[in-house]
Amino acid sequence: MKFTSKKPHYEHLRKRWTARHRNLQNKLWDKHKTSLNWLTAGGLGGLLLLTAPNPQLLSLPHPIHAKDDYVADLDENILLAQGLKDDLPPEVRPLEEQEEAGILQKLSGDFGFKVISEMEGIRLNRNYGLIGGEQHLYRYPGDSLLQHSGSAVDWAKYGGAGIAPGLGAWGYFTPSKQEFSEVDKMRERYYLAIQTFLAPGFAENVAKYRDFFKFRKMLVVNPKTGQSVVAVVADAGPAEWTGKHLGGSPEVMDILGLAMGPRKGPVLYFFIDDPRDEVSLGPVKIKNKT
């Protein structure tokens, strides 16, 4: 089934958003032109060379572009946030059937792939809740926090989260370093901890639910900003007493815009029906903007 979404108001919102931020970018560039030119010329690269924790991690970030490039690269998922505003309840709670149906239709249409709340007769206890930051997970025996970072920038952004003392709910992602693949790397990088144990029917069908949830692909959306990520279930949790309903890897939290401060916030999270494994893990942008 092909999902389409025609929302004329998106184009109006996009034009307003672009015009507003073009003015802000122009002011920022004019005020800090000297500093920004220094960064573009390589000053940031020199700074990284002096502060990198390990010479093997040195990999410079993408160069800073001209001010007009920022406008072109604005996160248009903010349009998704505007569209979701009237569909969500004022408090973070389990969605009612009608609310859920409307949101699923919107997400499926905007992203261009099928987003669902129930699969193979299994559903979560809720699809709107508070996400909290998690640590990195051991991917194979002998893995270390340092080996998770491919560059100095990667280390600076995500290394501070640390690594969990125990394994994820399904153990290592792969039996050995020799068997470690790009698929394993991406699964740990974009992983979720989900309260699988609270799913209706879990206690009566532990083995079935355990197998179903392992690396199950999900869409997570920050409804306040539209920032979204495709991730997999790789751990169980958090505990009910924490007041949180799911957890996200350091990379997931960063993509959702929730990596700073209290490192938590409300999100929507649903299964992705992707039998051919065509939806890639990582940040995802809306496709239908008009």
Separation of first and last alpha carbons in the chain: 20
Strand, helix or coil for residue 71: helix
Contact call for residues 279 and 230 (beta carbons, < 8 A): yes
* Residue with tokens 């669902």, as numbered in its chain: 116
Please report the pLDDT score of residue 153 as a whole number.
87
Q: Please tell me the number of Cα atoms within 13 Å of 178 on its side-chain side.
A: 0
Sign of the dihedral through C-alpha 99, 105, 109, 113: positive
Type of residue numbered 183: V
Q: How far apart are CA 236 and CA 195, in angstroms?
A: 6
Q: How far apart are CA 268 and CA 221, in angstroms?
A: 5
Domains of the chain with CATH codes: 8-283 (2.40.40.10)
Q: Which of 185, 194, 193 is nearest to 154 (CA)?
A: 185
Please report the pLDDT score of residue 261 as a whole number.
86
Q: What is the pLDDT along the chain (290 residues), one digit of tens a residue?
A: 444 444 555 555 555 555 555 554 555 445 545 444 444 444 444 333 334 444 443 343 444 434 343 333 345 788 899 999 989 999 999 999 999 999 999 999 999 999 999 999 999 999 999 999 999 999 999 999 999 988 888 888 899 999 999 999 999 999 999 999 999 999 999 999 999 999 999 999 999 999 999 999 999 999 999 999 999 999 999 999 999 999 999 999 999 999 998 899 999 999 999 999 999 999 999 986 54
210 membership: H or E segment, kind and range? helix 206-213
Q: How far apart are CA 81 and CA 140, in angstroms?
A: 38
Those residues whose C-beta lies under 8 Å from the C-beta of residue 157, and which sit 6 or more positions away, are 250, 254
Q: Which of 238, 227, 218, 233 is nearest to 285 (CA)?
A: 227
Contact call for residues 190 and 229 (beta carbons, < 8 A): yes
